[in-house]
Structures are given as C-alpha cells and as structure tokens.
Amino acid sequence: MTANTSFIIVKYLKLERLIKVMQIEVETDTAKKLSEVADAMGVKKEELVDRALLLYIDNISRYADLKREMKAWDFLSDEALKNFEKAL
C-alpha cells in the first residue's frame, strides 16, 4: 500500500469575504501524477483538481440522465408490449 499525500485547497471568495478551505488526501502515486499534469498544463494542482471535479460531476450528471431516460424507455416498452398482447 502506498502512503498518502495531502494538500490544502484554498479558495478566496472576495464578494462574501469568506475563505473556504478543503483538504484532500490522495495516494502518493496520484499526487505525483497530479503534479506532473498540473506542471504540463501550467496550472496549480488546486485548479486541476477543481477542473477534474467539475468534469466528473458533469459526467455523473449525464450518466444519471441517461439512466432515467433508459428507465422511461423500458417502462414505455413494457407498456407497448402489454397493449400489443391485449390486441392479439
């Protein structure tokens, strides 16, 4: 098992005069990859994590939408089959 590395994400919200702090802990290998990618993109690790979370949340949201749509189509398909069988 690899050791964990943690770092603190600090976001300053000037409009509300608040400071929000989040500390995350990741595996050492993940922290290394995170640093490499952040350096390659020319952004801070915190910004990269923020972008990754937004992308992940968007992906999960779209997946949930797809599951709801598939469930609706499944229901309609079952109903259509019942109506077809009644018509026979």
If one counts the domains in the chain, the total is: 1
- Residue-level length of the chain: 88
Q: What is the pLDDT of residue 55?
A: 94
In the numeric block, the tokens 């499944």 are attached to 74
More confident residue, 36 or 4: 36
Q: Cα angle at 22 between 20 and 28, to 5 degrees?
A: 155
Extract the tokens encoding 53.
């979370």
Give the residue among 24, 46, 50 at the shortest CA–CA distance from 35: 46
Residue 56: domain span: 4-87
pLDDT reading at 42 higher than 90: yes
> CA 32 to CA 23: how far, in whole Å?
17
DSSP 21: E
